Amino acid sequence: MERLICRLPERERGSSGCASTANLSQAEIAAELGVSQMHVSRLLARALSWLRQAMLGDSVPPWNGADETDHRLAVATIFRGDSIETRITGEIDRDNAGHLRDELLSVLRDGGRMRRMRIGLSGVPLLDAAGIGVLVALHEAARVRDVEVRVTGLQPYAEKIVAPRACGI
């Protein structure tokens, strides 16, 4: 088992080790790795599935679940005259949606005479219901201030969920 665990990518190895030897919860592992609890859950599920296959099979299967993407939330904002462009990268889920909402509403509030706000989400691999709630709250706050909000770069699964009028897509 130890030799198989050593073959896992660093993130999966670290999350599996924390869960089994240090007896940490997924939330504690997430805080240590700087990712969401949901992402830790996926890391553990992939690692355990691969380990199960490796232990039950005659040969060690190739690792197909490697995900070296950095899923930590990052927000970059550029002010251009009466427009603001905000690029978001990383996962948006219930663990960090409140922080993102606060940051986006702060940009909207402190934007002065801003007329347009563009939110780029092409670097967001996961947007859950809490993240969609952030976009709706931003849209409502912008509507009150007469600021046009455009959301770009939504993943196809999220485009199907978010109503085109709700967030100016």
* Predicted pLDDT at 53: 85
Give residue for tokens 């232990």: 55
Q: State the 10-residue block means of pLDDT for the chain, 169 residues long.
A: 75 66 78 78 82 84 63 86 91 87 91 88 88 92 92 82 57
pLDDT of the residue at 117: 94
Residue 148 is predicted with a pLDDT of 93
87 Rama class: left (phi>0) / alpha (psi -120 to 50) / beta: beta
What's the pLDDT score for residue 7? Answer: 76
Look at residue 9 in the predicted model and tell me its pLDDT: 72
pTM over 0.85: no
| DSSP label of 21 | T
CB atoms within 10 A of CB 59: 7
* pLDDT (0 to 100) of residue 103: 93
Domains within the chain, CATH numbers bracketed: 2-56 (1.10.10.10), 74-161 (3.30.750.24)
